[in-house]
Amino acid sequence: MPRSVRDVVFVDGVRTPFGKAGGMYANTRADDLVVRCIRELLRRNPQLPPERVDEVAVAATTQIGDQGLTIGRTAALLAGLPKTVPGYAIDRMCAGAMTAVTTVSGGIAMGAYDVAIAGGVEHMGRHPMGEGVDPNPRFLAERIVDPSALVMGSTAENLHDRYPRITKERADAYGLASQQKTAAAYEAGKLQPDLVTVATRDPEAGWGLAVKDEAPRDTSLEKLASLKTPFRPHGRVTAGNAAGLNDGATACVLAAEDVARELGLPVGMRLVSYGFVGVEPEIMGVGPIPSTEKALRIAGLSIADIGLFELNEAFAVQVLAFLDHFGIADDDPRVNQWGGAIAVGHPLASSGVRLMTQLSRQFAERPDVRYGLTAMCIGIGMGGTVIWENPNWEGGK
Ligand SMILES: CC(C)(COP(=O)(O)OP(=O)(O)OC[C@H]1O[C@@H](n2cnc3c(N)ncnc32)[C@H](O)[C@@H]1OP(=O)(O)O)[C@@H](O)C(=O)NCCC(=O)NCCS
């Protein structure tokens, strides 16, 4: 049977405000965070008949308890989607939501789906990193990986060793800039449109409403310089130049471009290419470098073609390694212009769709930019990159 590949578009994306692990969402279930996102997508896009959703792929790194039970399916049912809409769970650690997007996009491109919802969640308060894991003893006994490969902060220290020009001072300056850019983005109302409010409950304070991220803070280079280096004595990685431990969820709608046009859905971005690669697990933060080279190669583009970057800031050092590799300045205005995970947080499997949602908003503001890129490093040594085209592009750079 002859098939043609269809163009895939990012229609719309939302996220919950991100909480500190065990903070404002201490008494909120992880699956309820996903449900809020799906319901908000349907509310914002009434042109989308719920029965037209062909798949719901939701990522979580720790798939037990309220993040277990095939969360894509359970969240779809809880969100009130028709029972005929299937769903499943995905895991690629930090790139869970990114992988949910690329996986359902593959399905859309080959005609298995017209419309799909993809997203991710991580409640790191309820499910601390590494909960329930049982690494095979062969990993260490046979030196398949270095022991530091299993502690993400240690992999970031290793990266500082590998690139001595990325000093603690540079990492702290990057961390401060992330906080300042996030504060400016909030001030300018850039982040709020895609935040879905969440009712919260505290046994003492009672009911509340989460309307903004909990983690961003006012800081200074002096304060950052004084923080402990928990992953190594006299190390360089601190709570100020790393993403924190967070709770949150994201979701987005993807569709075949012709179906989006038929239904009258907005077209935020057009998928160009994506790439995932493996790297040495003990320096997992370099992952986005080869994954970006791969995605660029597949797209027939060069880094100079990319007008906007949304890079996940797991650690300042890994973003700086990326920027150095591609000859981009630490403060290049094309990069994370609304700040990043060091400020807002990184609820592991949810973050990929946060990057995409923000890029899509930035595309709408920048018809002069044709291509943008979302990229992230991934535990156990991987990188993921997705390149997008701006449907609002009007020519020029
Ligand atoms: C770095 C890390 C260990 C810090 O955890 P933590 O100690 O619980 O972090 P906290 O928020 O309590 O911050 C520690 C201290 O630094 C302070 N601090 C944190 N960020 C700060 C900032 N930007 N400016 C000033 N002070 C800051 C806190 O106030 C706290 O001070 P205190 O000890 O006096 O209370 C943790 O965030 C971490 O593991 N991050 C990496 C997560 C990760 O690996 N993700 C996956 C990526 S692949």
- Segment 73-84 shows an average pLDDT of 98
Structure tokens at 337: 């212009």
C-alpha of residue 244 to centroid of ligand 1, in Å: 6
Q: pLDDT (tens digit, 9 = 90+) per residue, 252-282?
A: 999 999 999 999 999 999 999 999 999 999 9
* pLDDT, tens only, 29-46: 999 999 999 999 999 999
Q: Which residues pair with 118 in a beta bridge?
A: 57, 252
Q: Is the pLDDT of residue 397 over 60?
A: no
DSSP state letters, 27-68: TS-HHHHHHHHHHHHHHH-TTS-GGGEEEEEEE-SS-SGGG-
Q: What is the pLDDT of residue 369?
A: 98
The verdict on whether 252 is a catalytic residue reads no
Look at 1-5, 64-68, 188-192, 291-295 and tell me which has the smallest mean pLDDT: 1-5
What's the pLDDT at 396? Answer: 60
198-202 and 206-210: which strand pairing? Answer: antiparallel
Which DSSP string corresponds to 326-394?
Answer: TT--TT-TTB-TT--HHHH---GGGHHHHHHHHHHHHHHH-TT--EEEEEEEETTTEEEEEEEE-TT--
Q: What is the largest CA-CA distance in the chain?
A: 65
Parallel, antiparallel, or unpaired for β 306-311 and 206-210? unpaired
pLDDT digits (tens, 9 = 90+) for 120-167: 999 999 999 999 999 999 999 999 999 999 999 999 999 999 999 999
Dist. CA 240 → ligand 1 center (Å) = 6
Q: Is 160 exposed, middle or buried (0-12, 13-18, 19+ CB in 10 A)?
A: buried
* Confidence (pLDDT) at 42: 98
What b/e readout covers 272-305, taking b as 16+ CB neighbours within 10 angstroms?
A: bbbbbbebebbbbbbbbbbbbbbbbeebebeeeb
What CA–CA distance (Å, rounded) separates 199 from 35?
A: 12
Rounded to an integer, the average pLDDT of 230-250 is 98
Which residue has a Cα nearest atom 14 of ligand 1?
239
Residue 388: closest CA among 366, 363, 368, 354: 363
Q: Is 320:169 a contact under the CB 8 Å cutoff?
A: no
Catalytic residue check, 94: yes
Ligand 1 pocket, residue 342 CB under 6 Å = no
| pLDDT attached to residue 1 | 77
The CA 283 to ligand 1 mean position distance, Å, reads 20
Closest CA to ligand 1's atom 11 = 239
Shortest-distance atom of ligand 1 to CA 285: 48
Q: Look at residue 51 in the predicted model and tell me its pLDDT.
A: 98
Measured distance CA(384)–CA(126) in Å, rounded: 26
Per-residue model confidence as pLDDT tens digits over 45-61 = 999 999 999 999 999 99
Convert the pLDDT of each residue in 164-193 to its tens digit. Answer: 999 999 999 999 999 999 999 999 999 999
pLDDT digit string, tens, across residues 375-390: 999 999 999 999 999 9
Please report the pLDDT score of residue 24 as a whole number.
97
Task: Say whether 37 is catalytic.
Answer: no
The CATH fold assigned to 8-126+244-388 is Peroxisomal Thiolase; Chain A, domain 1 (3.40.47)
Flag whether pLDDT at 2 surpasses 80: no
CA distances from 89 to 15, 74, 169, 349 (A): 18, 10, 40, 11
Nearest CA to ligand 1 atom 37: 244
Q: Where are the domains of the chain?
A: 8-126+244-388
Atom of ligand 1 nearest to the CA of 230: 3
For the stretch 83-132, pLDDT in tens is 999 999 999 999 999 999 999 999 999 999 999 999 999 999 999 999 99
